[in-house]
Structure formats: C-alpha cells, structure tokens
Amino acid sequence: MKLLAAFLFILAALFPHATSAATTAASAAKAPLEVVVLGSGGPRPFGRASASYIVMVDGTPRILMDAGPGAFLRIGELGLDLSSVDTILLTHLHIDHSGDLAAFFNARALSSDGPITYRIFGPDAAGLFPKTSRFVDLLVGDGGEFPYQKTFGADEKFIVKDLAINLDSPQTTILDDHGLLIEEVATHHGDCPSVAYRITYKGVTLVYSGDMDASALPNLVRLAKNADLLIFNCAVLDPPQSPEQLYELHTPPRKIGEAAHLSGVKSLLLSHTAPDVEGQEVAVRKSIRASYAGPVAFATDKLSVPVGK
C-alpha cells in the first residue's frame, strides 16, 4: 500500500488532474468531460489492454474511442454504466483499436432497457482495410460474423459514417448535439486509413490522435489547437532506438513534444505504450520537454483524467 500511495503521490505531482478512476469517483460527476483509459497498450500482449477510452460527458459515459482487445474486461472492472453510450469514434481499423467492438456491442446491449441507435465514425476504405460502414456490417450485419447481435438484449441500429482519409481533406464537424461538438481530420498511419478526433463540451476540449506517423502532424496540430488535453500515442522511442519501419507508423517523442507546443495544448497524456517505451519514461519526458513545457502524464489502464479542471 505504501508503494501505491507513493505512486499516486508522484502521479499527482507530475500531472495534478490525473489519478486513478477509483480515487476520482467523487469528482468525476463534476467535470464536463473526463477520459477513462480502458486500454493504454497495444498491439503486443504485455499486460495492458489495447487502445480504448470512454469519454464521460457530465459524469456519464457517452463516447467510446477505439475498442482494442481488453476494453470489455476493463469496463467490467470499473463497473462502467454503458447505458448512455451512443457514439463510437474509431481512429483506424487495426485489431489493437477495434478487436473488442463486437464484445462492446454485446456488453452495451445487455445493459440496455430499450432500443439503441449507435452513431459510429471511422475512416474510409483503402488497400486491405474496409471502410468503417463495411467493417461494422461484416461484424453485425446480415451474413456477417455476429448477425444475432442486432437483437440480442436490445434492438440495435448502427448509423455509420465513413470519414475522408486523404491528408488534404478538410477538418469536419461530425456531431453537434446539445453542446457536444465532435470534429475530425485525416491522419496517416502507414498503409492503414486513419483519423483523429476533437471533442468539445462546455468550454473544454480533448483531442485523441489515434496512431499516426509524423507526416500527419500538421493536421493534428490544427485539430488540437489550444485543446485542454491531447492524448497521443507513444509507441516508439526517438530514432534510431526503435525499429526503422515503426517510424512509418508512429510519431517519436521529440516530434510529439513539438506538436504539443505548436498546437498550444494545455496538457499531454501519452498512451499506447509499447514494451520498449515502458521503461524509458525519463528519456521520453526529456525528449518532449525539449519543446513542450506543459504537464505530461503516462496513461495506465483504468486511469481517469478530468479535462480542463
């Protein structure tokens, strides 16, 4: 327990708004937006769930961002009430960001009293990757993997919008619902179509990069302008410390710091941690500090971060 207390103290000192979901239960209801990390790892199995987040709006879980394997388990461990989750934002369709989507539909339907209409957003098709509407259809549509899910526990309707994936596509607003604003822009993640999201509510803003290589940073910097919280993947170390091919998929820490500085974000949460990054927090912080002076925290599964408070 002493170790845990010391850890929480250090965490609070480094990033005063971040602490465990359990310890912020009382304050959770007051933050307009709060991010609960379901999965801070991926794609390698080393004890973290893969990329997935729940966004609480006025203390109620409303938005699922990515659905990596392990999200289902973390939802249960946290006792999250899914009954108001109606919006799903998928950054890309790699397994470590989407593998638990069917399990999420299952869990959500079984916590519902009535019909569910999902608003699902994700990238358009390219190469080996289907567009998001086709992906959802392949999962739960007629002739898909789990067609029974549409009426299992609740009647479900899936409204899916495929988002533009060329880097020169304009930033768009995809949702404007009673003050909840969601915007997106195309990013770049090797050969995998990808997008990033910006969520604003009651004057606070969070941005989620998803996985992206450095070629998409100009788009991300525009999307994240003056955001209160930027969640950025940290899957590689600065070159040449990670395998060369990974830099075609991910942004190294030094460039993450530059992007955080250029966009003027107020705080940075590093997630999607890889095994070789996990033991290098000091080096990663140093790289980011070269450009960015704001608070920096490392995500762990079940971490809860109120936005802008």
Q: Which residues of the shown chain bind Zn ion in the complex (CB under 5 A)?
A: 42, 96, 211
Contacts of 14-18 spanning 24+ positions with Cβ under 8 A: 14/295, 14/296, 14/297, 15/267, 15/269, 15/295, 15/296, 15/297, 16/295, 17/267, 17/295, 17/305, 17/306, 17/307, 17/309, 18/269, 18/297, 18/303, 18/304, 18/305
Q: Which is nearer to Zn ion, 88 or 116 (CB)?
A: 88
* Nearest distance, CB of residue 186 and Zn ion, angstroms: 17
Q: How far is CA 50 from the centre of its chain?
A: 10
Q: Which is nearer to Zn ion, 73 or 262 (CB)?
A: 73
Q: Which is nearer to Zn ion, 65 or 116 (CB)?
A: 65
Q: Which is nearer to Zn ion, 33 or 64 (CB)?
A: 64
121-149 as b/e: b if 16+ CB within 10 A = bbbbbeeebbbbbbbbbebbbeebeeeeb
* Nearest distance, CB of residue 97 and Zn ion, angstroms: 5
Q: Which is nearer to Zn ion, 34 or 96 (CB)?
A: 96
* Nearest distance, CB of residue 145 and Zn ion, angstroms: 21
* Nearest distance, CB of residue 257 and Zn ion, angstroms: 20
* Nearest distance, CB of residue 202 and Zn ion, angstroms: 30
Tell me how far apart the alpha carbons of residues 75 and 163 are, in angstroms, rounded to a whole number.
Answer: 27
| Contact by Cβ (8 Å): 116, 87 | no
